[in-house]
Structure formats: C-alpha cells, structure tokens
Structure 1
Amino acid sequence: MNGIQFENVSKYYKEGDNTFIALNDVSISVNPGEFVAVIGPSGSGKSTFLSIAGALLQPSEGNVTINGVHLSDLKQKDLSKLRLEQIGFILQTSNLVPYLTVLDQLLVVKKMKGSITNEDKLFAKELLEEVGLGDKLKKFPDQLSGGERQRTAVARAFMNDPNIILADEPTASLDTQRAFEIVELISKGVKSRNKAAIMVTHDERLLKYCDKVYQMNDGNLKLLEEPVAVR
C-alpha cells in the first residue's frame, strides 16, 4: 500500500523506575494525494510522531510502513536512503544554505544522490515557477523575504519527487497572509503531484487546506474532523 501507515505505534522512555509515554498506540493511514494536519499543545507528542514518520526515530512498539516497506526491516543505511528519496521535509525555518542560490538550493538535493542532469535543472525550475520564484533563481537567501525563503523550502521538499511530505510548523515564522500562501502551496503540490502529506501546526486557521485533522493529546491521536480542503 502506498502512502504512510502507523499501526499501533507507541514510543516510551524509561527514566529510573518511571516510564514516560510519548506516543500511545497510534494508528493512522495517509494516502497519496491526502493532506493531513496534526494539532495539539506543546509536549503532546506531535514532534515524536513526526520524527517517527520521517524515519528519524524508531518506535518502541508497532509498525510504520512507507509505500509498503516496514521501516523496522531496514538498516540505518537503508533508512538514510529512504529519507533522501522518499521523504520531503519542510521545517519551521527554511534552513537554506547561505552561499547557494535559490536554484542551487534544490539542485544540491539531487547532488546528494549523484550527478545533476539537465532534466534535474528543468524540474527544479518548474518547481520554483510553481511557488512563484521563477524570477529569483539566482538570488541568495539573504536577498529573499521570509516568505520567499519558505517557498524555496517548499519547492526543495518536492525536488526528489518523494512519496511523503512532512511539514513541521512550516508557517511558524510567517505573518498570517504569508502563512496561508505557504500552506496553500503545499496543498496544491500534494494534490497535483499525488503525495501523502502530514503537517504539524498550532495554527488552526490553516486547517481549511487539509483533508483530515487529528488532535494529539498526551501521546494519543484522535481524528477530529474532515474539512473540505481548498482545491
């Protein structure tokens, strides 16, 4: 099955005689073309959930499957390969490389896999056009606004044509208007390129762009509603 699935996933930590439960028996399935939001207070387990989804953290119990592959079956080298090829990350800050142009921010992702082809350059330009940066290809991060830097990060997340997009508070550093623009861009990319996407956010105004909304509380995940996503 394509997309990402959690099956009875728990994560807990031992502290002396005490056990701290970060995730408690979480099950969720996100299919290609689906944009899901996870909301909840700080310390509720959202970051642990996203780290496990991104193959950065191993669960204590349960199974995580990406495109039919059980992550528990993979060695560290294979997990690194999977993160590079199948998961696109969008973080709170754009995390751009200061000395690379906007175009090269995307091409460096391809460079990590090997050589860069002409097709790669065309695809990078296409992605940047889609996020409204077609005229900024040769600009450096310090020449961009905060919204433009985050648009670059959105385009970069799609560069390896991954199956999964994970966004961790992608609008935290933006004003309201820029926040809406960024999440709308993510939503359009998810739909047009048929990706399975999960966004962790505190901003409930952004939920109208999502297909499903889950609440995380004390490590427990619950489906709240299924809003009509903006197309």
Structure 2
Amino acid sequence: MTTGLQLSEVTKYYAEGSNRIAALAHVSISVEPGEFVAVVGPSGSGKSTFLSIAGALLKASEGEAKLNGHSISKLTAQELADLRLKEVGFIMQSSNLVPYLSVLDQLLIVKKMSGKVSKEDKAFAVKLLEELGLGSKLNSFPEELSGGEKQRTAIARALINNPGIILADEPTASLDTKRAHEVVSLIAHEVRTRRKAAIMVTHDERMLEYCDKVYRMEDGRLFEQ
C-alpha cells in the first residue's frame, strides 16, 4: 500500500452563477513519509482548497487524492470523518485551543473522540508535550500560554493520534520571528523523526529553509520551485 499523500490531476470546480470556476486545475503532488513540503502563493491562488482536499475535508471534482493508501473519492461522509481523525493532523494559523481545557486535556479530548482514553494514551500525550518543551505546562490553560506555547500545544495535538499526514496552514501567522523559527523547526523535527508526510502552506519565505521541497501555487496550478 502506498503511504503518504498523493494527489493526481486534481481539479476542483465551484459554481458561480452559470459559470464553473476552477479553484484547482490538474494539481499533482506526492509527499512521502518523513518529507516536509511547503506551498507558497498569493491569496486566492487555491491554497485553501488544496489543503482542504489534502485533508479530506473536500472531495475533488476530477482526479484522485489518496491519503495513506485510502482514495478519498470513494469514501462516505462518515468514512471521511474517521479518516481525518485517524490519518490527518491539522495545525492552524491560530492554535484553535479550547479555552476551558488544560494543555494535557487539549490532547486527550482528541483521543476521546476516537474511543476511550487509555493509560498508554495519557503517557504518550505527556511524552509528546515534554518533547515539545511543555512538560511544566500540562495543567496550564490557553490564556496562561505565550503564542509559541499555544502553537507547540497545537503541534502536539496534531500528533496525538499518530496520523500519517500533517497539514499546517500558516502556522507562524501570529508569531514573531524567533517564535516562528522555533515552531517550524519543531514541526520539521517531528515530521522527520516520526516519519509523517507533511505540507505547510505559508506566506513566510523565511520558513522555507526547513522544508525539503517548495511548491508555488498560482491560479489553481501547482509548480515545484
């Protein structure tokens, strides 16, 4: 079974009045386990649609998207939801933490969504947070964290289900330069040591040094730089 992420000739149309607008046009990309890829491009170039298809949030109009060997187009809505939970870790622009949950519980709630939380799950969550420098913050709430700590919590949460695919959408948008480097170097480290296929959409050219490949998106088309 092929692992990682494969998009093959993916096109996504949206209806606008009686017209069809192609938000993505014949996009093909393959990201292997342990590979960290960046996608750059102006607003409105199709990056969000691309990430939504890569993360099984949207189905392509044409072409095929495969996540860890699963073909998205053939799945029901429930199967897609299960696939997202098990196979995809999302890291968003703002950390999207739940305000009333502690740092540790931000991770355990993801585990609860897929069943009950075992002792092993809790131990793995603690280990992840310690690895990301949050060992002293397990019982802290989001309002007590810095921007960098919130994003590190979000990275740990993306990894808690041990997904095959990590998708980061502008993960440094709300961070200063030092914190931005810290966060992206951590993502890169986790991707390589844990063998995840990872894509980061970014406007931040300074972060490209951490990536194995850089693609540019323009008018719904993807080009390797």
TM-score, with length taken from structure 1: 0.96
Runs of 4+ in 1 over 6 A off after TM superposition: none
2:131 alignment counterpart: 130
**Post-superposition offset of 1:167:** 0.3
Task: Give 3-state SS (helix, strand or coil) of 2:224's partner.
Answer: strand
What CA distance in whole angstroms lies between the structure 2 residues aligned with 1:14 and 1:121? 46
What CA distance in whole angstroms lies between the structure 2 residues aligned with 1:163 and 1:68? 10
What CA distance in whole angstroms lies between the structure 1 residues aligned with 2:87 and 2:20? 33
Task: Give 3-state SS (helix, strand or coil) of 2:50's partner.
Answer: helix
1:175 alignment counterpart: 176
2:198 partner letter: A
1:78 alignment counterpart: 79
Query: Which segments of 5 or more consecutive residues in structure 2 lack a partner in the other structure?
Result: none
CA offsets per residue over residues 41-96 of structure 1, 9 Å max, x none? 00000000000101111111000011111111111110000000000000001111
1:205 alignment counterpart: 206
1:192 partner letter: T
Indicate whether 1:117 and 2:115 are aligned.
Answer: no
1:109 partner letter: V
1:222 alignment counterpart: 223
Indicate whether 1:52 and 2:78 are aligned.
Answer: no
What CA distance in whole angstroms lies between the structure 2 residues aligned with 1:31 and 1:6? 12
Task: Give 3-state SS (helix, strand or coil) of 2:173's partner.
Answer: coil
**Post-superposition offset of 1:16:** 2.6
2:36 partner letter: F
Indicate whether 1:32 and 2:19 are aligned.
Answer: no
1:8 alignment counterpart: 9
**Post-superposition offset of 1:198:** 0.3
What CA distance in whole angstroms lies between the structure 2 residues aligned with 1:78 and 1:193? 25
Indicate whether 1:193 and 2:194 are aligned.
Answer: yes
**Post-superposition offset of 1:13:** 1.4
1:163 alignment counterpart: 164
| RMSD (Å) for aligned C-alpha atoms | 0.7
What CA distance in whole angstroms lies between the structure 2 residues aligned with 1:103 and 1:28? 35
Task: Give 3-state SS (helix, strand or coil) of 1:78's partner.
Answer: helix
**Identical pairs, percent:** 66
1:227 alignment counterpart: none
Task: Give 3-state SS (helix, strand or coil) of 2:136's partner.
Answer: coil
What CA distance in whole angstroms lies between the structure 1 residues aligned with 2:157 and 2:65? 25
Aligned length in residues? 224
TM-score, with length taken from structure 2: 0.98
2:141 partner letter: F
What CA distance in whole angstroms lies between the structure 2 residues aligned with 1:217 and 1:171? 21
What CA distance in whole angstroms lies between the structure 2 residues aligned with 1:156 and 1:70? 25
Task: Give 3-state SS (helix, strand or coil) of 2:135's partner.
Answer: coil
1:129 partner letter: E
Indicate whether 1:23 and 2:24 are aligned.
Answer: yes
**Post-superposition offset of 1:17:** 3.3
What CA distance in whole angstroms lies between the structure 1 residues aligned with 2:41 and 2:197? 21
What CA distance in whole angstroms lies between the structure 2 residues aligned with 1:189 and 1:2? 17
What CA distance in whole angstroms lies between the structure 2 residues aligned with 1:182 and 1:93? 13
